[in-house]
Structure 1
């Protein structure tokens, strides 16, 4: 039978952890950092998204108004502002900063999740649950789960939200400031990643549900509702003032809302999900299989109809189940199989696993076998991790791989450095942000890649004629406004463009005209065309790379 868990958690769980727990957490955090040193100490691009956000941060230092100086495409402003903030406190604009930040966000997310689990469950259940997800992060060498990406900040915010929700639910404390904080963080999620918006809505709705279901007097309920409403008003009002004051309301709507909502999966979400998890890291696949096995064991053990009925009616179980389903729906919504999207599923899986483990160990027929069961679970986890490591050894995309600049990129960078000064800007037609990050030059157009200006033959191309016209017009206007010193057309060297002739900058008449009028083609490196503004070329003259 199921026993209630009211006495399992002591009051100290609400306010802190034991010294032994802090020592254990510190030890495993240090161990995690040591394991991730190959990633942290690699001052190079692990994934193109890193260069995209780093370039945006470089640009924001010059002009800090998002959607006026940069377009984050699917990435929200929070991701780039984090990098800019780190620069202001003394960290450099480089990949080391990004990789250390990514590792730190994962560690803090794990810590907050452990605090959340301790609000509900015993140390045994909490530690076992966090060990499973910790093992995934610790052992995975897959690039997509180690680089700085646009999912990580929203992923961190989500763990904060879940902790606040759990704290409110468990303690029944009514604090208007806590509800304001909950609402503000929920509203910030879409500005880290619009894709996470549905989860933010779910958490706000559950916050309202907690208020309605908790036995509070009328005054406290009104205060709680006002807190949630005030948080939404603060974020929404601040955003509106920001957009109106900087005259970018329409740009915000087109670039961040309308265009991103135009990307959706028209196929079968389940088929895409299967394709994604088998394309992802073997570590993730094992994590999912292991967690699913725990769920199946739960339903096998808890086979009493009355007990299952109680669980099915439990609003926490319902919330955790909806959380998982929704997380997989948003992962498959866009139709792309980017493995780092799976970040959104990791902690929902962990939370449901911990819920089921707590009920398994509460079951009267299981309690006396707790130690053997935990031992078997840890043994299976260890054997599984060793097996996965064996299978993924030397497999493509399953292990960390360094990306070094090609010789033609080194030559192009030499040309850029020769014709520019630190205050200049650069425009790259195509998708290669290393030209920005390795020269430190800001972007001269809001899009630091030109995908949205292209009608076909490119990853992420949009198919709305109005939007394509908008982005082409904006691209040309930004060049006129910022007057970049150098213009690079690199589509002929980029493998994501099947037929470069269909997407070369000359295919857009206005862009072709402004480049041919104001710029001179001074070199071609393996298909990469380098144009320099005519007035600069007149002063600097042509650089002979053979003499360098």
Structure 2
């Protein structure tokens, strides 16, 4: 049977029940074994279980979150014009994620939501597996498989869209996890190779180009790497530091030369560094303004209050942290002095605090930011289980138990247990009508410009961006850099002359939801350009479609 013919309802009871039972059997098997499974068998089963339970999401070819449409549109556009800040502005997401997607486009993949949801699973799992091998490098092989069990349940059973989408933090998490693996490896080896230091420097340099929000964690990793250079092989401190610096500076030199050659280096600094640092989510009017200090300490409460499913990872972490604090710190404090290995865990504590800062800084507490907590949770689970009584390993099944209770409760009360149905939602039908109408006047591969926030139209039509900014609150809403964005939008229109212009400002639009205030006709230069060069063709569900004359 063609997998695309598989249909999922809102309550696929048998499918989900079998999945729960398989995960439970796998978890009990792992916990009862006297020795861990071989890496190969463990990874194959882990991949098979999570892929099976993610199948409804893999087949769900509709937008779950505006961020994934934004990145898919950017990847599509870079596959046509590979110069970032000439073709796209990735905002805070960083250009490397968009380049990753453009690579898949060059390999012949269609950049649609099927691919996005599959890639999200693949890269999230890959990040966790890097964390698993990091735990093994820290001599925690006996507990690393136990520590992964809550994440197996979470990835398989979570229904909240932010944990299914292709989220913008995904590449930064992969690179962060890889750098932490190097730190763990060096922590045990007590030495370095020149090639390792160069690769580490390159990876560290990549992080700011993946996601600006990852910088606090990158700072902790960079500082600890320098501490390790001082602690191990001190006689070679200078040469080792130069190798690390060579990787970091070399990457940025190549990057800046690429931008300078294409005359967008100033744009990179203006829009990626200056404008993003000034932006600070000041357009998100729904966010309650609190001090960063207050937000920092609110994170656990926010996670629990949101009820997005992540609390079922937080609860066992809080419980084991409390118990480990009593057992390790109080009972063993005198007997066990501070060793060099302990510094790694000090670093990881700093990483966890910085992850908290990255998540809570703006007060928005986006759920997909919680992925930054995966690595420290996994490594600390592994550490705690090593030092606690063996019975505590059963805490690792609490995540699945919670999801199973929720599944039974929803089934009994006839509430939906699957959000990724094969039947399109009403909004999906509406958006398909708009995309179909656009394709009456344009064709895939031609440039299109959208005014408003409807990046899904780029994905549905497979038409690349004719402007840097594929969602236009920064051009259309007041803030300190609005003029820069608006003038760039006009320059892009004049340079690319997109085949289609769409005014997508409707009551359903994010932020720019008032046609009388934010419609393109309210911006004189934009309105004049459209009137002169474009012809109005159709209006579908409030979305106005224009084709180039």
- TM-score tier, shorter chain, comes to 0.7 to 0.9
Once the 2 structures are TM-superposed, how far is the Cα of residue 400 of structure 1 from its aligned partner? 4.1
Once the 2 structures are TM-superposed, how far is the Cα of residue 124 of structure 1 from its aligned partner? 2.7
Q: Give matches, 1:17-416, under 5 Å.
A: 20-214=38-232, 216=233, 218=235, 220-264=236-280, 267-269=290-292, 270-271=294-295, 273=299, 276-278=302-304, 280-302=306-328, 303-304=330-331, 306-307=333-334, 310=337, 314-360=342-388, 366=389, 370=390, 372-374=391-393, 376-378=394-396, 380-390=398-408, 399-400=419-420, 403=425, 406=428, 408-416=430-438
Secondary structure at the aligned position of 2:313 is classed as helix
Does the 8 Å contact 1:103/1:146 carry over to 2? yes
Farther-moved stretch of structure 1 (243-252 vs 385-394)? 385-394
Mapped to 2, the partners of 1:74 and 1:125 lie a distance apart of: 36
* Structure-1-length-normalised TM-score: 0.84
Deviations 1:97-151 (Å, cap 9, x if unpaired)?
2222111112211221111111223433212212233322222121111111111
Structure 2: runs of 5 or more not aligned = 1-34, 282-288
Deviations 1:418-477 (Å, cap 9, x if unpaired)?
222344211111111222111111111100111101225xxxxxx21xx10111111111
* Closer, same or farther: CA 217–334 of 1 in aligned 2, 3 Å: closer
Mapped to 2, the partners of 1:261 and 1:379 lie a distance apart of: 41
Secondary structure at the aligned position of 1:420 is classed as coil
Q: Give matches, 1:429-444, under 5 Å.
A: 429-444=451-466
Secondary structure at the aligned position of 2:165 is classed as coil
Does the 8 Å contact 2:313/2:399 carry over to 1? no
Once the 2 structures are TM-superposed, how far is the Cα of residue 524 of structure 1 from its aligned partner? 1.9
**2:536 aligned with 1:521, yes or no?**
yes
Once the 2 structures are TM-superposed, how far is the Cα of residue 161 of structure 1 from its aligned partner? 1.1
Does the 8 Å contact 2:150/2:398 carry over to 1? no
Once the 2 structures are TM-superposed, how far is the Cα of residue 52 of structure 1 from its aligned partner? 1.0
* Closer, same or farther: CA 142–189 of 1 in aligned 2, 3 Å: same
Deviations 1:318-348 (Å, cap 9, x if unpaired)?
1111111100101112332321011112212
Q: Give the equivalent residue in structure 2 for 1:5.
A: none
Mapped to 2, the partners of 1:343 and 1:391 lie a distance apart of: 27
Q: Give the equivalent residue in structure 2 for 1:12.
A: none
Mapped to 1, the partners of 2:52 and 2:496 lie a distance apart of: 43
Secondary structure at the aligned position of 1:446 is classed as coil
Secondary structure at the aligned position of 1:262 is classed as helix
Secondary structure at the aligned position of 1:59 is classed as helix
Farther-moved stretch of structure 1 (429-438 vs 85-94)? 85-94
Mapped to 2, the partners of 1:263 and 1:397 lie a distance apart of: 38
* Closer, same or farther: CA 79–279 of 1 in aligned 2, 3 Å: farther
Larger radius of gyration: 1
Secondary structure at the aligned position of 1:36 is classed as helix
Mapped to 2, the partners of 1:147 and 1:209 lie a distance apart of: 37
Once the 2 structures are TM-superposed, how far is the Cα of residue 207 of structure 1 from its aligned partner? 0.7
Q: Which structure's relative contact order is higher, taking Cα pairs within 8 Å and 6+ residues apart?
A: 2
* Structure-2-length-normalised TM-score: 0.84
Secondary structure at the aligned position of 2:290 is classed as coil
Structure 1: runs of 5 or more not aligned = 1-16, 361-365, 457-462, 536-548
Secondary structure at the aligned position of 1:134 is classed as helix
Does the 8 Å contact 1:51/1:434 carry over to 2? yes
Secondary structure at the aligned position of 1:491 is classed as coil
Q: Where does structure 1 differ by over 6 angstroms across 4 or more consecutive aligned residues?
A: 391-398
Mapped to 1, the partners of 2:526 and 2:257 lie a distance apart of: 33
**2:512 aligned with 1:490, yes or no?**
no
Deviations 1:147-168 (Å, cap 9, x if unpaired)?
1111111111111111111111
2:526 to 501, 508, 511: 511
* Closer, same or farther: CA 395–479 of 1 in aligned 2, 3 Å: farther
